[in-house]
Amino acid sequence: MFHSYKMVTGAVAALLVAAGLSTGALGQSLELKIMAPAAPGGGWDQTARAMQAALTESGAVKSAQVVNVPGAGGTVGLAQFVNAKGDGSQLMVNGFVMVGAILTNKAPVTLAQTTPIARLTAENQAIVVPANSPIKNAKDLAEALKADPAKVTWAGGSAGGTDHIMVGLFAKAVGVDPTKINYVPFSGGGEALAAILGGKVTAGVSGYGEFEGQIKAGKLRLIGIAAEKPVPGLDAPTLKDQGIDLAIVNWRSVVAPPGLDEAQTKTLLAAIDKMVKSKQWQETLKAKNWDDAYLSGEAFATFLQNEQVRVAEVLQSIGLVK
Amino acid sequence: MLDSVFALAQGFSVALEPTKLLFALIGVFLGTAVGVLPGIGPALTVALLLPVTFKLDPTGSLIMFAGIYYGGMYGGSTTSILINTPGESASMITALEGNKMAKAGRGGPALATSAVGSFVAGLIATIGLALFAPWLVEIAIQFGPADYFALMIVAFVTVSATFGDSPLRGLTSLFIGLMLGLVGIDALSGQARLTFGVPELLDGVEVTTLAVGLFAVGEALFVASRMKHAPETIEPVRGSLWMTREDWKRSWKPWLRGTALGFPIGSLPAGGAEIPTFLSYTIEKRLTKHPEEFGKGAIEGVAGPEAANNASAAGTLMPLLTLGLPTSATAAILLAGFQQYGLNPGPLLFAERPDLVWGLIASLFIANAMLVILNLPLIGLWVRLLAIPQPWLYAGILVFAAMGTIAANPSPVELVMLAVFGLLGFVMRRYDYPIAPMVVGLILGPMAETQLRRALQISLGDPMALIESPLAATLLAIAALALVAPLLFRGLSRFKADED
Closest residue of chain A to B55, computed from CA coordinates:
A53
- A58-74 exposure pattern, b = at least 16 Cβ within 10 A, e = fewer: bebbbbbebbbbbbbbb
In a domain, A321, yes or no: no
Interface of A with B in 2-61 (CB under 8 A): 39-42, 45-46, 49, 52-53
Whether residues A23 and A109 share a domain: the answer is yes
Q: Render pLDDT for B171-184 as a digit per residue (tens, 0 to 9).
A: 999 999 999 999 98
Cα–Cα distance list, A280 to A50, A58, A85, A271 (Å): 9, 7, 31, 14
Q: Cβ of A72 and B189 within 8 Å?
A: no
Number of H-type helices and E-type strands within chain A? 12, 10
pLDDT of residue B494: 54
Q: Render pLDDT for A76-94 as a digit per residue (tens, 0 to 9).
A: 788 788 887 888 888 899 9
A–B CB contacts, 8 A cutoff, strictly below: 158
Average pLDDT over residues A50-75: 79
In a domain, A162, yes or no: yes
Whether residues A130 and A178 share a domain: the answer is yes
From B445, B183, B122, select the one nearest B314 (Cα to Cα).
Answer: B122
Which residues on chain B are in Cβ contact (under 8 Å) with A185?
A: 187-188, 190
> Based on the structure, what is the number of domains in chain A?
2
Whether residues A99 and A153 share a domain: the answer is no
Whether residues A44 and A137 share a domain: the answer is no
The CATH number linked to A77 is 3.40.190.150
Counting beta carbons within 10 angstroms of the beta carbon of residue B380, is it exposed (0 to 12), middle (13 to 18) or buried (19 or more)?
middle
- Would you say residue B85 has pLDDT above 80? yes
Among residues A233, A249, A265, which one ends one of the domains?
A: A249
Whether residues A6 and A115 share a domain: the answer is yes
In a domain, A320, yes or no: no
Q: Render pLDDT for A272-292 as a digit per residue (tens, 0 to 9).
A: 888 888 888 888 887 777 888
Whether residues A115 and A257 share a domain: the answer is yes
Position B50 confidence tier, pLDDT thresholds 50, 70, 90? low
ipTM: 0.78
Position A4 confidence tier, pLDDT thresholds 50, 70, 90? very low
Average pLDDT score, chain A: 82
Domain range for A202 is 123-249
Which residues on chain A are in Cβ contact (under 8 Å) with B324?
A: 193, 210, 213-214
pLDDT of residue B52: 67
- Would you say residue A247 has pLDDT above 60? yes
Interface of A with B in 149-208 (CB under 8 A): 150-151, 153, 158-160, 164, 182, 184-185, 187-191, 193-195, 197-198, 200-201
Average pLDDT over residues A177-199: 84
Among residues A225, A249, A273, which one ends one of the domains?
A: A249
pLDDT of residue B263: 92
CA dist., res. B81 & res. B91, Å (int): 9
pLDDT of residue A25: 43
Whether residues A237 and A189 share a domain: the answer is yes
Interface of A with B in 231-290 (CB under 8 A): 286-289
Q: Render pLDDT for B327-368 as a digit per residue (tens, 0 to 9).
A: 777 777 777 677 666 666 666 676 677 777 777 788 888 888
Q: Cβ of A217 and B342 within 8 Å?
A: no
Whether residues A85 and A132 share a domain: the answer is no
In a domain, A282, yes or no: yes
Among residues A205, A233, A249, which one ends one of the domains?
A: A249
Whether residues A53 and A101 share a domain: the answer is yes
Q: Cβ of B189 and A159 within 8 Å?
A: yes
pLDDT of residue A15: 40
Interface of B with A in 163-192 (CB under 8 A): 185-190, 192
pLDDT of residue A155: 93
Q: Cβ of A194 and B270 within 8 Å?
A: yes
In a domain, A314, yes or no: no
Tell whether B224 is within 8 A of chain A (Cβ). no
Each domain of chain B, given as residue ranges in start order, spans: 2-468
Whether residues A144 and A222 share a domain: the answer is yes
Whether residues A150 and A92 share a domain: the answer is no
Q: Render pLDDT for B104-162 as a digit per residue (tens, 0 to 9).
A: 888 899 999 998 998 899 889 888 887 777 677 777 778 888 998 998 888 888 887 77
The CATH number linked to A245 is 3.40.190.10
Tell whether B326 is within 8 A of chain A (Cβ). yes
Q: Cβ of A200 and B192 within 8 Å?
A: no
In a domain, A41, yes or no: yes
Interface of B with A in 329-348 (CB under 8 A): 329, 331-333, 335-336, 339-342, 344-348
Whether residues A114 and A256 share a domain: the answer is yes
- B301-325 exposure pattern, b = at least 16 Cβ within 10 A, e = fewer: bbbbbbbbbbbbbbbbbbbbbbbbb
pLDDT of residue A238: 93
- Would you say residue A204 has pLDDT above 90? yes
- Specify whether the CB–CB gap between B362 and B15 falls below 8 A: yes
Range in A64-73, A246-255, B274-283 the model is least confident about: A64-73
Q: Cβ of A40 and B44 within 8 Å?
A: yes
